Structure 1
Amino acid sequence: MKLILAVDALVPPLTGIGRYALELANHYQAAHHELDAIRFFFAGRWIGDPAELLQPAIAGMLAQKRKRRFLRTPKSWRQWLMRREMRGHLFHSPNYFLPESVDSGIVTVHDLSVFKYPETHPAARIRHFESSFSSTLARAAHVITDSEATRAEVIDYFGWSPERITAIALGARPEFHHRDALSLGTALHTYGLVHGGYSLCVSTLEPRKRIDRLLAAYLDLPQSVRTRYPLVLAGSAGWLSDALREQIEQGEREGWLRYLGFVDATFLPLLYSGARAFLYPSVYEGFGLPVLEAMASGVPTLTSNSSSLPEVAAGAAWLVEPDNHEVLRHGIEQVLGDEAWREAAITRGLQVARTLTWERCAKRTLEVYRRFG
């Protein structure tokens, strides 16, 4: 079987979709005996080593080359050339869309948030889905989703046959694992943190993540709890509203909140491992990778009882209705203070995480390829 894997999502800093594409690319490069050939497709051109795309200088250079090439080459001619080179290959796009030059292929749909929560996306992205996604679905031989919850949504929303959609769970990198206080001391001290002395939420700050609800519930905890376990927020600003910005600034002034912004991928696993609890009240996720990463790190976790999150947690997390203030506040107290539950949650979380690896994800994806390659 000859495979073409699109790697357009490999743009630094990596998003969750970028991580997914990179993990598949790394696995198939290392397991070359499982494929007759593999090529990588990025923005209309072939790429030798996808990892090079994570170097900003190279990514910028490729973007400029692509722009110059498009200006001097007619679109119809480009597509004809690409179709000829792709002949005899199976094409997989890990990022929603098949290129126009691809007549048939496999596409991964991570969630339907652009349809269900359009206010969390830029207008240009919404227009792109409105103009191009139906064309992708018309040409897709098969759809892969990250969870059974998203698979059911695609079946319901687009009327697709269940036989044409496969749910394949994502994985946690080996870097996400349990660490003791001694091994984390220096790294955490740099940020003024202590092992076991803070709660953690890793999330883009946008409406469906319900960070505003989390801050309101945390503010309602006893002052002694907030003092002992301040809340640490990590993640890019996203759609940071003025109201949420004010909440964050108030929490920082009062000393019970730290907003770190975007955290480097090297430090992120350490930040997880040092947390007393992980809190992720997002109302909608196609998978919820931070929940899996927290469980793999041996951290008791609270998350929402909606979309794919109960599926990913698999009985290891405290589930809440994120829009119910009292339920969310009570859940935070339990995850921080109920030692019997915490011990059981850590054990169960590690068990779940051991079964959800990127190797498993790549192998199950390869099984789908074999049905078409």
Structure 2
Amino acid sequence: MDLILGSDALRPPLTGIGRYTYELARRLADSEDIARLRYFSMGQWVEDPIAALSQPVADGAPVATPEHKTLRDHLSSNRVAVRVFAALTPAVFGWRLRGNKAAIYHSPNYIVPPFSGKTVSTVHDLSHLLHPEFHPQARVDYLRLALDASLARTDQVITVSETVRQEMLAHGLMSADRIKAIPLAADAVYRPHSSEMLIPAMEALGLQAGHYSLFVGTVEPRKNVARLIQAYRQLPAALRQACPLVVAGGKGWNSEAIHAELAAAQAEGWLRYVSFIDQRWLPALYAGARLMAYPSLYEGFGLPIVEAMASGTPVLTSNTSCMPEVAGGAAYLVNPRDVDDICHGLEHCLSDEAWQADARAKGLARAAQLSWDRCASETIAVYQQLA
């Protein structure tokens, strides 16, 4: 089988779609079913993006590397620029892909360019349709223009959850037989840690294992960090002081008001904001938390939920979108728009040791059901159907 894999998301630091593409690409390169694997990124053939991502490793996790922004990133905030980009690039990319009719083209990042062979697209979520208020208008414009055209030339769609598959069906974007849900997974570095394993990270980050709650993700309105902070503020003061909230994530779109809330809570002494976590410490940061608090408003999959469960950390998350599906009965679910409900859930999860033990066991079992090997094998099965 001759496969061309879109690799525009393979750039450091790997988060979300980049992580998915990376884990998939590694396994496709080793698969006996793939006779030839080539990479195509932003209109260019790429020799070996996996090798380019090779990083020094410490304690089983890659050391952080600086972010590299693409042309699409730089243009993404300009509505005129994204319209021009969406109008011109399909023809250019399609021309550079000519002569490959016998191959299969897979875009792990939504958009399939014009291609004479069979095509596969991975759709991670439909937030631009369901919640356009969570994005800059230019990004919404681009996805509305580019995704419809992409789906028209796509033979098979992969969604990262059954929830997104059902959303696509509800919007009439593709027939049911042409959409396959294939869930993501946590990397093997996310696992329970002994007390000794936690010491280096806890010392480096200034934290005490088992005595903090954790949120990991970009600080932006969709992640609901403002309501999480408001709910945490309502907890008994003694509980807040004994188990502060750690928010780990970079600054996202439209987050100025959220950062003001973060600064106020940090000044009060019960919140710690870390805008950047070196990847070498991230597995221990998960494993050392008493609770993962992830009351996001909308997700396509919600990878931090699975990473926390694989680390043996209890999870509180939302009762909406894909999050109940991903948690699989192992997490405490709250209404993400109800601050009082989030607060009640936080107090229960932080105080009830019996629930914590049960959540750890159920979370580890749920995370074990999801693997990148399974994700790759089910993806290859999609290719084989088309071939």
TM-score between the two structures when normalised by the length of structure 1: 0.92
The residue aligned with 1:235 is 249
Say whether 1:38 aligns with 2:37: yes
- 2:122 is matched with which residue: 98, 108, 131? 108
Output the CA distance in 2 between the equivalents of 1:356 and 1:178: 16
Q: Is the 8 A contact 1:107 1:143 kept in 2?
A: yes
For residue 145 of structure 1, report the CA deviation from its aligned partner. Answer: 0.3
The residue aligned with 1:154 is 168
Output the CA distance in 1 between the equivalents of 2:26 and 2:52: 13
Q: Secondary structure at the match of 1:140?
A: coil
- 2:319 is matched with which residue: 305, 308, 312? 305
1:7-156 → structure 2 map (5 Å cutoff)? 7-31=7-31, 33-54=32-53, 79-84=94-99, 86-101=100-115, 104-156=118-170
The residue aligned with 2:301 is 287
The residue aligned with 1:68 is none
Output the CA distance in 2 between the equivalents of 1:348 and 1:233: 24
Output the CA distance in 1 between the equivalents of 2:71 and 2:329: 45
Output the CA distance in 2 between the equivalents of 1:127 and 1:21: 24
Q: Is the 8 A contact 2:136 2:253 kept in 1?
A: no
Q: Secondary structure at the match of 1:9?
A: coil
The residue aligned with 1:69 is none
Output the CA distance in 2 between the equivalents of 1:239 and 1:150: 23
Say whether 1:351 aligns with 2:350: no
Q: Which has the higher helix share?
A: 1
Output the CA distance in 2 between the equivalents of 1:128 and 1:327: 36
Letter in 2 for 1:45: Q
Output the CA distance in 2 between the equivalents of 1:88 and 1:159: 26
Could you tell me which runs of 5 or more consecutive residues in structure 1 were left unpaired when the two chains were aligned. 64-73
For residue 13 of structure 1, report the CA deviation from its aligned partner. Answer: 1.9
Output the CA distance in 1 between the equivalents of 2:69 and 2:215: 32
For residue 239 of structure 1, report the CA deviation from its aligned partner. Answer: 2.2
The residue aligned with 1:277 is 291
Letter in 2 for 1:95: N
Q: Choose 308-317 or 158-167, whichever is displaced more.
A: 158-167
For residue 126 of structure 1, report the CA deviation from its aligned partner. Answer: 1.8
Output the CA distance in 2 between the equivalents of 1:61 and 1:204: 19
Cα deviation, 1:131-176, whole Å, max 9, x if unaligned, reads 2211111111011001110000001113421111000000100000
For residue 240 of structure 1, report the CA deviation from its aligned partner. Answer: 4.6
Closer, same or farther in 2 for the Cα pair 1:349/1:60, shift >3 Å? closer
Output the CA distance in 1 between the equivalents of 2:215 and 2:355: 20
TM-score between the two structures when normalised by the length of structure 2: 0.88
Closer, same or farther in 2 for the Cα pair 1:194/1:158, shift >3 Å? same
For residue 368 of structure 1, report the CA deviation from its aligned partner. Answer: 0.9
Closer, same or farther in 2 for the Cα pair 1:151/1:297, shift >3 Å? same
Q: Is the 8 A contact 1:25 1:50 kept in 2?
A: no
Letter in 1 for 2:319: N
The residue aligned with 1:252 is 266
For residue 48 of structure 1, report the CA deviation from its aligned partner. Answer: 2.3
Q: Is the 8 A contact 2:132 2:140 kept in 1?
A: yes
For residue 127 of structure 1, report the CA deviation from its aligned partner. Answer: 2.1
Deviation beyond 3 Å, 4+ runs, structure 1 = 52-63, 74-81, 100-104
Output the CA distance in 1 between the equivalents of 2:167 and 2:283: 31
Cα deviation, 1:189-248, whole Å, max 9, x if unaligned, reads 111101111100001111121111100000000011001100000011102533222211
